[in-house]
Structures are given as structure tokens and as C-alpha cells.
Amino acid sequence: MTNLGIGLIGYAFMGAAHSQAWRSAPRFFDLPLDPAMNVLCGRNADAVQAAAAKLGWKETETDWRKLLGRDDVQLVDVCTPGDSHAEIAIAALEAGKHVLCEKPLANTVEEAEAMTAAAEAAEAKGIRSMVGFTYRRVPAIALARQLVAEGKLGTIRHVRAQYLQDWISDPEAPLSWRLDKSKAGSGALGDIGAHIIDMTQFITGDTIGEVSARLETFVKERPVAAEHSGLAGTAGPVDAGRGPVTVDDAAVFLATFRSGALGVFEATRFATGRKNAIRIEINGSLGSLAFDFEDMNLLHYYDATDDSRTAGFRRILATEPDHPYVGAWWPPGHLLGYEHGFTHQVVDLVTAIADGTDPAPSFADGLQVQRVLAAVETSSTSRQWQEIPA
């Protein structure tokens, strides 16, 4: 089997999740190429070496440009904050490397457009690229897409989506890069709202055409963590002061899909008691689907053509061998978890590279989501409906 040398840039939360995926994918799925975890890259030499030893990478680099020049790297996996996505991904594509880039694709539409143009130019040379919207690969979500594509729901009329977290509901939670617009691009909107935009468009096979939105930052300033203030390692208690929060804490918006379906979206980091709740409901003329990530192996399906005496939502446990991705894992009823979506992402990407086909979601798909994010921000400022370019 031919090796596919992987170079991963970034080793924190997403870097660990992607590392798990690169390790597990060839052990459970019959892949046409064998991913080789060759290089892990990060700016802190000691920290990246410790991460490489823990996560299973052979070697390390502290300069991503050197990683791009290595002959043992054929695919670059970008798990850095959004402010570096465009520079790294474009350089990698121009160096002839396949690219997997975490979501959202970029921090601005202009960056996403440049990335998409680079991806299209690379595609002509057989170089593939994909943006990492991993929730598409949850078996229940992939099954939902199949049911809609088969016409089980008829004409889609309503889309409801929520992504609820509470990890910064405490006003004394310290600043991090995710609360800095220059690094993150936006807050709850881009970080978690991007997921439900992509998921609903994926399930319905439709795209959002216009939005009316409101963004809010509930806590305007927060403590500056010592490690971000230049005071790390100082003896005794450290008061590093407070700094501004420059992103949104919550986003709510109405949407009209190009088919005419109506959408209601909510993304917040202030839903106390909710850790990672993703809730989606799709209503059509022939039925409905409902999903909640807090019970991620279940898909609820309502068939409106059933006899009214026995009609009701059907509970589908998406763990059967003929459900998407599930056949490579455990016997029916043995549940999958958060990390499996990343493994399925690796499977789809490696298979597409071997087949010479374009993986999905593409950078163009990521650009479309970026345009929705930008329209939401513009609408919140203008207090007007905002159209998204087709």
C-alpha cells in the first residue's frame, strides 16, 4: 500500500482530535492509501515534542514553512486559529500538498475567496482540498441527508438549528484567542454557528439565500490570563488586568433558503447547563427529522403519510451496519462518540485522494458558509435583511 505522508500543524484541542483520527482510520477501515503520521508542527519546540510523543507523530517542526518543503509530507492538516488558515493553506496547495483545513475556512470572505481560487488551481493538477465540517460525518446526520435526498420529507418548509454551549458564561473566565476577533474572526457565530449552517445545508441539499440577524457580546471584558500577558512564571499572585472581548458571545438569525424554506438559527456560549448541544429539526411536506447531539446516535423521523392512529416520531438508533460509516465499527447498539466523525472525515478524504475525485465539503463549500457568516454580521449591524451571493 502506498503511504500518504501527513503533516499536522497545531496540536491543541483540534490537533489532538485529528491525531486520533489519523491513528484510528486505517485500523478500522480498509483505506486505499496508508496515512503516515510523519510530522507535527507547533511554535513551542518542547511542547510540540511532548505532544508528538503523546499523540503518535514521528517527527516535529517549529516552522510550518519547513514542513511544506518536506518530501515525506503529501497532505497538510491545518488545525491552527483562523487568522493563519489562508496563508498556510494557500502556501501548501501551491507547494503541491493536499490540504485539510479546519472550519471555519477563514476569518473573512476575501481570505476564503483566495483559498478557494488556490484550491481550484491546485485541483487542475490533481491536488485535493477539504474543509473540516466533521459533524456531517456523524452517522445519524449522514442518514438524515440520505432520507432527504430520497424524498422522504417531500418539500422542505422549516429548518430549526441550535448550537448551545456555556463555557464562558462565567464573566471571570479568562480571555483566550477564541475571544479575539483578529485571531478567531468571530465568536459563537463562526466557531459553532458555522457548524449548524453547514449541517442544515448539507442535510437539506439547499443553501441559505438571505438572513436577518442579531449578534450580542454579553461580557465586554475579561481577565487576561498570565500566559497571554508576558507575566507567566512570575512568582506570587499575578494580576494581569482585564482586556476587551472583541467577538460575539451569541448569534441569532432568521434565514430564507433558496428553495423558499424558512430557517431559525441560534448559536451561543451562554446557555448555562449546555455543554455541546446541537439540535436540528427539519419539517417537510411528507415528514420531519429531528437530531440532538447530546444523544448523537439517534435520529427521530416522522412519516406524515402514516395512518393517523399510529403516526408518531420513529426513534432510529443509527448503529446498524448499513447506516453510514457504522459497518466498520461495533455490533448494532454499541454507540459511537464525538471522535468518530473525525475518523470518518479521514476516510472520505483519503478515499477521494486515491480515487482522484473532489472531497466534500470543498473550499467552495467553506466559502459559501463564510458568506453566510459575513451576511449575519452585516445584518446585525445594519438591522436589515442581507442577501448572500449565489
Q: Is residue 388 part of a domain?
A: no
C-alpha–C-alpha distance, residues 191 and 39, integer Å: 26
Q: Which three cell numbers stand for residue 320?
A: 446498524
Looking at the structure of the chain, the number of domains it has is 2
Q: Is residue 15 part of a domain?
A: yes
C-alpha–C-alpha distance, residues 388 and 289, integer Å: 26
End-to-end alpha-carbon separation of the chain, Å? 42
Residues 144, 129 within the same domain:
no
C-alpha–C-alpha distance, residues 286 and 291, integer Å: 18
Residues 102, 7 within the same domain:
yes
Whether omega before 32 lies within 30 degrees of 0, making that bond cis, reads no
Closest CA to 77 of 145, 117, 25, 121: 25
Residues 185, 314 within the same domain:
yes
Q: Is residue 387 part of a domain?
A: no
Name the domain boundary from 135, 154, 173: 135
Residues 146, 84 within the same domain:
no
Q: Is residue 336 part of a domain?
A: yes
Residues 131, 144 within the same domain:
no
Name the domain boundary from 114, 135, 156: 135
Q: Is residue 390 part of a domain?
A: no
What is the domain-level CATH number for residue 29? 3.40.50.720
Please give the chain's pLDDT, 390 residues, in tens. Answer: 599 999 999 999 999 999 999 999 999 999 999 999 999 999 999 999 999 999 999 999 999 999 999 999 999 999 999 999 999 999 999 999 999 999 999 999 999 999 999 999 999 999 999 999 999 999 999 999 999 999 999 999 999 999 999 999 999 999 999 999 999 999 999 999 999 999 999 999 999 999 999 999 999 999 997 655 444 444 444 456 999 999 999 999 999 999 999 999 999 999 999 999 999 999 999 999 999 999 999 999 999 999 999 999 999 999 999 999 999 999 999 999 999 999 999 999 999 999 999 999 999 999 999 999 999 999 999 999 999 998
The residue range of the domain holding 49 is 3-135
pTM listed for this prediction:
0.95
Q: SS3 breakdown of the chain: % helix, strand, coil, rounded to 5?
A: 35, 25, 40
Name the domain boundary from 90, 117, 135: 135
Residues 151, 128 within the same domain:
no
